[in-house]
């Protein structure tokens, strides 16, 4: 099939097969050596239907099954001083960063019930901090952009897709992000 035919087949040249979507993400380093059919089966077990490759959010939800490569959850996470949600989530984000983000000795400090909030940690041999905004009981995902400033030299950046009470966080190179955006129309938040 030539490029002209692929372009006009109705999906911009993307395959209509859910397993092909998994294989696309495998080429970018997701899903490891898991058989694409196994990923699709898990999706069907949880959602009742196979993912529709033409639906961008089905692809996002499918990518959430790439264990160890993504962080997904509800950003309405009962964030408050007592729960120290940021201290926990920084460790989880570090786990998916491929070594680009390795915070140690994380401290979460709140100056009152609504902040300001300061997260300080060791990174690359120096003490640094970021300051998430108070968002009631929601995780302030903009803190990822502050972290991106700290890990810029790694060549990786945290990116996310947010749909109400669901967020998917990944740590990507600029090339990976460009391919996801161009070839799968991935709905990055920024």
Q: What b-and-e string marks burial along 15-49, b requiring 16 or more CB atoms within 10 Å of the CB?
A: eeebbebbebbbebebbeeeebeebbeebeeeeee
**What's the mean pLDDT in 80-96?**
97
Kindly list the strands in the beta sheet with 126-130, ordered across the sheet, starting from the edge strand earlier in the chain.
104-110, 117-123, 126-130
The three-state secondary structure class of 82 is coil
d(CA 65, CA 160) in angstroms, rounded, equals 15
Partners of 65 in the β-ladder? none
**What's the mean pLDDT in 31-50?**
97
**What's the mean pLDDT in 28-48?**
97
How many other C-beta atoms lie within 10 A of the C-beta of residue 97? 22
Question: Under a CB-based contact definition with an 8 Å cutoff, are residues 54 and 16 in contact?
Answer: yes
**What's the mean pLDDT in 130-144?**
97
**What's the mean pLDDT in 42-62?**
97
Confidence (pLDDT) at 49:
96
Q: Is the pLDDT of residue 24 over 60?
A: yes
Q: Is the pLDDT of residue 3 over 70?
A: no
- Please, which pLDDT band fits residue 9 given cuts at 50, 70 and 90? very low
Q: Residue 35, Cα to own-chain centre: how many angstroms? A: 21
- Please, which pLDDT band fits residue 5 given cuts at 50, 70 and 90? very low
d(CA 131, CA 116) in angstroms, rounded, equals 8
Q: At a CB cut-off of 8 Å and minimum separation 6, what does 163 contact?
A: 57, 60, 187
- Please, which pLDDT band fits residue 168 given cuts at 50, 70 and 90? very high
User: How many percent of the chain have pLDDT more than 70?
Assistant: 92
């Amino acid at each position: 099939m030539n490029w002209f035919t692929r372009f006009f087949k109705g999906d911009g040249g993307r395959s209509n097969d859910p397993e092909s979507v998994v294989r696309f993400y495998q080429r970018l380093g997701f899903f490891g050596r898991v058989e694409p059919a196994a990923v699709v089966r898990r999706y069907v077990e949880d959602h009742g239907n196979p993912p529709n490759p033409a639906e961008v959010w089905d692809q996002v939800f499918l990518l959430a099954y790439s264990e160890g490569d993504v962080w997904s959850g509800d950003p309405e996470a009962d964030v408050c001083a007592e729960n120290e949600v940021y201290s926990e989530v920084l460790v989880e984000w570090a786990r998916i960063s491929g070594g680009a983000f390795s915070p140690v000795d994380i401290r979460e400090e709140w100056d009152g019930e609504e902040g300001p909030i300061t997260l300080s940690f060791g990174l690359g041999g120096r003490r640094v901090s970021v300051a998430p905004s108070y968002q009631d009981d929601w995780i302030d995902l903009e803190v990822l952009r502050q972290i991106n400033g700290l890990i810029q030299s790694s060549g990786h950046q945290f990116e996310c897709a947010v749909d109400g009470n669901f967020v998917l966080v990944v740590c990507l190179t600029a090339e990976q992000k460009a391919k996801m955006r161009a070839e799968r129309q991935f709905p990055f938040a920024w």
